[in-house]
Amino acid sequence: MSYNTILVDDAQPITTVTINRPNKLNALNTETIKELHAAFSNLQKDKDVKVIILTGSGEKAFVAGADISEFADFSVKEGKKLAAKGQKLLFDFIENLSKPVIAAVNGFALGGGLELAMSCHFRIASDNAKMGLPEVSLGVIPGYGGTQRLPQLVGKGRAMELIMTAGMISAEQANTYGLVNHVVTQEELLPFCEKIANKISNNSTVAISYAIKAVNAGFMNTVNGYEQEINSFGACFGTDDFTEGTTAFLEKRKADFPGS
């Protein structure tokens, strides 16, 4: 499938999705959000894909936010719809994807860009990256989950300060905050992410999908995380991956997971 605003490489089992609007610092417009949704839906269904890396094109930005030119004249109703649709199609969708998604934050991750990185399962940044939620400087608030996911990741006080000041933090500061897991040079960023993705891809894809579900459940008001963990744990016992994983251990060999 071909896209106008993103690139999806064919490499499997690790696939890289690149947001490709470098002249607009990869700002998220409606088309990009739709295309990302389509790409992630396809990758989720593709049995050969085990881990997805999400990054931005060029050396300057991961994503510099939602495309301000698209919503500058929106009404209250349109604003609400923009946030609701974006959350459903992209941000919640990625967070709940059954396959691991790593954000390779290669530059500015601002507003919707940081919200996108935060909806990924974890983040690795290059040392030139800068992160922030500058929405209140535009007279609006984060609308793609930023008021929820930032406090989850860095704590309420730090999130409040970042949101209220509309300021940016460096990759190092983000690392100290626990917003990103590692900081490497820009050159090392994708190889480093691929190395971690490779490690993940040796494990049971089915068990990983259950783990994502159980961890996410702990951050939902409507589900009990411990109950979800019990259910997911139990469900693992009915999978071929579990039979293979435990048999391989007992036979003192490396597991070769069938992914079912």
Q: Which residues bind to ligand COA, rule: CB under 6 A?
A: 24-25, 27, 64-69, 108, 110-112, 134-135, 138
**138 or 248, CB closer to ligand COA?**
138
- Shortest separation between residue 146's beta carbon and ligand COA, angstroms: 9
- Shortest separation between residue 81's beta carbon and ligand COA, angstroms: 16
Active site residues: 115, 135
- The answer to whether 90 and 119 are in contact (CB under 8 A) is yes
**28 or 211, CB closer to ligand COA?**
28
Helices (H), 9-155: 30-45, 68-71, 76-86, 92-95, 112-119, 146-154
Locate tokens 């993705």: which residue? 197
**2 or 4, CB closer to ligand COA?**
4
- Shortest separation between residue 97's beta carbon and ligand COA, angstroms: 24
CA 80 to chain centre: 23
| DSSP string for 57-98 | SSSSEEE--B-HHHHTT--HHHHHHHHHHHIIIIIHHHHT-S
